[in-house]
DNA sequence: AATCAAAATGTCGACGTCGACATTGCATAT
DNA sequence: ATATGCAATGTCGACGTCGACATTTTGATT
């Protein structure tokens, strides 16, 4: 591998001068810069980051620890946001996955420390509260898509499930819906409660009676291995004589099942029934016909901004207990329409 | 950060002896090992990989370059396979995404070289032929989910789309289907042609007349921004008086639309129409009711084995033009059933 | 032409690790 | 008791980079 000294020799200057050029330090003649750059290009010199890291005790590398990347197809976007931030800021991303196994998590931290990582993004694949037990206080950490359990202080960044759900509910109310069904997410998910609470608050504020709401549990059990009642519940809700005019689903995958249930009962979306989801998981939300009205989770931004927060923290410019919440926007598509009087 | 010398001081031995213990070299007294390990645990010493890398000129790190991670939710599994391999073999994974942009790709290679990466996995997010122009011959590279264009020699690992499609078709034939519809993937995808070819070969071998096959194009245009005719075509095929008894879809997302079309025509799956997909993209294949009969793409194994091939190559034990193909298994679920005489 | 400050460039060593080689310790054979 | 040989441990320097500091060059000022 060609080193800074090779470049120095070819350019006829000292290694330190090459270093100056490479790092854009001042006080180098335009002439010298020229010579050095030429030599660099000729030799195809690329600085050795390991050497730099050992010298400066900073690696310009951040680590991503994910838990259940396997089960959630969304995940990619968070990671992509981080990557893009890193790429735009001259950092590199080290990736590790724990599958939720504490032993593997411990291993991951060892590896990260061995690489003298600047900081870690602890990415939860579903919105929740975490107690990063295996973590290490000595490495700056930002929690993404989660926040710390009571008693821990970690900066964190999360989606505003509550606000998104409120806006979505108001969207339905604005369309004149007054009898609304709701199929809940797995209650273990943080988003589940926030979404339901916002839904209840918004409908109540609009003066809708509890009797006009049909709320069902869509799934329960350990994450990734839950029992799924969605299809059955959707069938049940939709075949009721006092069928609601709109059906809110905990997420887009549930909305998919609601579609299937509705269609198999001969109902049209959105003419007979408005169906909405949550997440804007595009494979589903755009794959459904008509396309699904839903709420977009800002996964990409969660990643990008999370990386940015981490950087602030590494530079010791950020506070250790900042808790940032990102807005979730309603994406109105074809599956929601005005409530028809019946 | 605690270094090998700190450990040496505490253990009362030389740094080299510590190094020997850390690397499991022979000729160290059990007694000394004990002392050293104690000191290591006490101080929480973790070897500095950057220093090791600079010394040995090997980083024990492999890079993953992905192209369109954003658009394909499958991708995660390939990456996870690589990660798990790395974790099991003491390597670290560096991740970079190009979004298909040549400039970014060039950048990624620079970064990888700067890290003195041992090798690169070039992961295509849809099965295709690539010409890794921006690549660099000096870094061992394995193509995953793709193979090299003519004239290039890179080892590669891909799914056996052809075999999977053949087996799936035979599954349908075994169920007695004789009039079969087929909705094609975007022809730009390598899998599209392999799947169609296998389908045609298998039906022909079974003596099915071309007139009994209805083959339609489901989507076309640049990857990620294609025009989608699937729903329309499915409606058309299914409302024909001589409607087929089975409908084969290029992938699971297309199958989703076929379901919607079928249901909206009042057809039952699988009683009135058998529908099958390809990919086993679980959000869809398990989300559909009844669950979808499809072919599982071995994404995880692609990642794991790809990493292993790369390692062979790095150790110079593997051949540079190995082209490995992984089997795709039919997963029979509820959406396929015996053809009913009509 | 002499002086001097500022700019440009160079020298050197340290970061943490481990290979090459050197030295010491110890047990066995004489 | 001495020699022999191998096992155990140690010393030293190099990997590539860049900070601290040293030296040389430049050009403006007298």
Which of B45, B108, B139, B260 is most worth mutating to test chain A (most A CB atoms within 10 A of its CB)? Answer: B260
pLDDT band at residue A104 under the 50/70/90 scheme: confident
Q: What is the pLDDT of residues B192-242, one digit of tens each?
A: 999 999 999 999 999 999 999 999 999 999 877 889 999 999 999 999 999
A95 contacts B288? CB cut-off 8 A? no
What average pLDDT does range A92-108 have in this prediction? 87
Compute the distance between CA of residue B98 and CA of residue A158 in angstroms, rounded to an integer. 26
Instruction: Find, among A215, A317, A336, the residue nearest to A277 by Cα.
Output: A336
Taking an 8 Å cut-off on Cβ atoms, the answer to whether A256 and B79 are in contact is: no
- Interface probe with A: pick from B289, B291, B307, most Cβ of A within 10 Å: B289
Say what the pLDDT of residue B316 is. Answer: 77
Q: Is the CB of A27 under 7 A from strand C?
A: yes
Per-residue pLDDT of B41-59, as tens digits, reads 999 999 999 999 999 988 9
Give just the sign of the alpha carbon dihedral B157, B162, B168, B171: negative
Write down the mean pLDDT value for chain A.
91
Taking only the tens place, the pLDDT of each residue in B18-49 is: 999 999 998 999 999 999 999 999 999 999 99
Helix-helix angle B76-88:B299-314, to 10 degrees: 40
pLDDT in tens, A162-216: 999 999 999 999 999 999 999 999 998 888 999 999 999 999 999 999 999 999 9
CB A110 within 8 A of CB A86: no
B198 CA: distance to closest CA in chain A (Å): 26
Contact B54 A54 (CB under 8 A): yes
Identify the residue with better confidence: A295 or B1. A295
Lowest-confidence region among A123-127, A247-251, B159-163: A123-127
A8 CA, C19 C1': Å apart: 27
- Per-residue pLDDT at B131 exceeds 80: no
> What pLDDT, in 10s, does the model give residues A215-243?
999 999 987 788 999 999 999 999 999 99
Q: Between chain A and chain B, how many beta carbons pairs sit less than 8 Å apart? A: 148
Residue B23, by phi and psi: left (phi above 0), alpha (psi -120 to 50) or beta?
A: alpha
| Residue B3: CB less than 7 A from any atom in strand C | yes
Minimum-distance CB partner of B77 among A59, A70, A268: A70
């Amino acid at each position: 591998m060609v080193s800074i000294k090779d470049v120095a020799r070819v350019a006829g200057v000292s290694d330190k001068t090459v270093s100056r050029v490479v790092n854009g330090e001042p006080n180098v003649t335009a002439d010298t810069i020229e010579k050095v750059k030429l030599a660099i290009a000729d030799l195809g010199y690329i600085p050795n980051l390991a050497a730099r890291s050992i010298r400066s005790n900073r690696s310009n590398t951040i680590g991503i620890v994910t838990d259940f990347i396997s089960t959630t197809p969304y995940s990619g976007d968070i990671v992509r946001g981080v990557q893009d931030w890193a790429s735009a800021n001259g950092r590199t991303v080290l990736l590790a996955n724990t599958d939720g196994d504490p032993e593997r998590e411990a291993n991951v931290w060892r590896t990260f420390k061995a690489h003298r990582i600047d900081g870690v993004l602890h990415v939860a694949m579903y919105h929740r509260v975490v107690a990063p037990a295996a973590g290490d206080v000595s490495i700056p950490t930002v929690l993404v898509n989660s926040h710390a359990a009571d008693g821990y202080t970690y900066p964190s960044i999360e989606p505003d499930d509550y606000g998104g759900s409120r806006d979505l509910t108001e969207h339905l109310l604005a369309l004149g819906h007054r009898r609304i069904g709701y199929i809940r997410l797995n209650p273990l998910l943080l988003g589940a409660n926030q979404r339901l609470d916002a839904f209840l608050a918004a409908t109540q504020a609009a003066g809708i009676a509890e009797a006009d709401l049909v709320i069902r549990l869509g799934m329960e059990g350990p994450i990734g291995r839950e029992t799924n009642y969605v299809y059955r519940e959707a069938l049940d809700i939709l075949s009721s004589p006092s069928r609601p005019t709109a059906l809110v689903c905990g997420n887009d995958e549930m909305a998919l099942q609601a579609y299937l249930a509705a269609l198999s009962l001969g109902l049209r979306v959105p003419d007979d029934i408005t169906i909405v989801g949550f997440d804007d998981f595009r494979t589903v939300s755009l794959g459904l016909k008509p396309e699904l009205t839903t709420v977009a989770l800002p996964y990409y931004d969660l990643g990008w901004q999370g990386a940015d927060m981490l950087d602030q923290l590494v530079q010791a410019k950020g506070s250790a207990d900042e808790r940032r919440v990102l807005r979730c926007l309603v994406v109105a598509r074809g599956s929601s329409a005005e409530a028809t009087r019946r």
